[in-house]
Structure 1
Amino acid sequence: MTEAEHGIEERDEEATAAAGAPEEAPLTAPRGKRRIVLLLAVAALAYALDLLSKLWVVTSLEHRDTPIDVLGSWLRLEAIRNGGAAFGFGQGMTIVFTIIAAGVIVVIARLARKLYSLPWAIALGLLLGGAFGNLTDRVFRSPGFLEGHVVDFIAPAHFAVFNLADSAIVCGGILIVLLSFRGLDPDGTLHRD
Structure 2
Amino acid sequence: ANLLAVQILNKFVGESERAIRETFRKARAAAPTIIFFDEIDALASSRSDSDGTGSHEGVLTSLLNEMDGVQELLGVTVVAATNRPDILDSALMRPGRLDRILYVGPPDRQGREEIMKIRTGKMAVDPQLNVGEIADLTEGCSGAEMAALCQDAALLTMQRDMAAPFVSREDFLTAARNVRRQITPEMIEYFESWQKRSGLRSA
Please give the range of the TM-score, normalised by the shorter of the 2 chains.
under 0.3
> Normalization by structure 1: what TM-score?
0.25
| Higher normalized contact order (CA 8 Å, seq sep 6+, divided by chain length) | 1
User: Which is greater in Rg?
Assistant: 1
